[in-house]
Amino acid sequence: MSTQIKNRKGIEPVAQVLCEKVKGLRKEKGWTLESFSEISGVSRSMLSQIERGQANPTLAVACKIAKAFSISVGELVDEPWTASAIEVIRRDDPAFLFRNDSQCKIRTLSPLNMEKNIEFYELSISPHAQLQSGAHFEGAREFITVEKGSVEIIAGVDSSVLREGDSAHYRGDVEHCIKNTDSVEAVCFLVVSYS
């Protein structure tokens, strides 16, 4: 006789966590079951059964699913004792691309699943383009470092030009703007702090 505790639906708790986690991660990525099947190498029908809590995957299948999401098997079942102490954000992961158009590209470098009062971004601003922002919450500050090119920071009525290697911090609770003043792409790292 099994000693596993089952919930009202008759699904073991780990399987319930797994089915909800897999479905949630797939939807976050914007994948259909077909595309998820192609990416993971697991059949569409097996993935559908897992998401509905009708199948318990083998370790091999769980590993394929975890690999597709770039996480560990422990993270897939939310077991903190098996989770890695390192969370990696891959450069080409589209889930972390906040904006990408002719003016600028903003890539989030902070984990999306964390409750946080600090956000970390990589900005790529096209030549002579700008990133205009309204006022954030009261007390918000922005910290910027220019990796490549030059930018002009405008915060309220104040402005300053930064060149490669320069850093600045300024109020984020007033209208502010980061302008690329050069004819080459500017690359910056931006930290937004909400205190």
Q: What pLDDT score does 4 carry?
A: 36
Mean pLDDT, residues 39-46: 91
What confidence tens digit (pLDDT) does each residue in 130-189 have? 999 999 889 999 999 999 999 999 999 999 999 999 999 999 999 999 999 999 999 999
Kindly indicate the confidence band of residue 13, based on its pLDDT and cuts at 50, 70 and 90.
low
Q: What pLDDT score does 7 carry?
A: 40
| Residues in Cβ contact with 58 at an 8 Å cutoff, skipping those fewer than 6 apart | none
The answer to whether the predicted template modeling score (pTM) of the entire model surpasses 0.75 is: no
Q: What pLDDT score does 17 carry?
A: 73
Q: What is the mean pLDDT of the chain?
A: 84
Q: Which domains does the chain have, with CATH numbers?
A: 13-76 (1.10.260.40), 94-193 (2.60.120.10)
What confidence tens digit (pLDDT) does each residue in 85-106 have? 677 788 888 878 888 899 999 9
Beta strands in 58-163 (DSSP E): 97-100, 104-108, 118-125, 130-133, 141-148, 150-155, 158-163
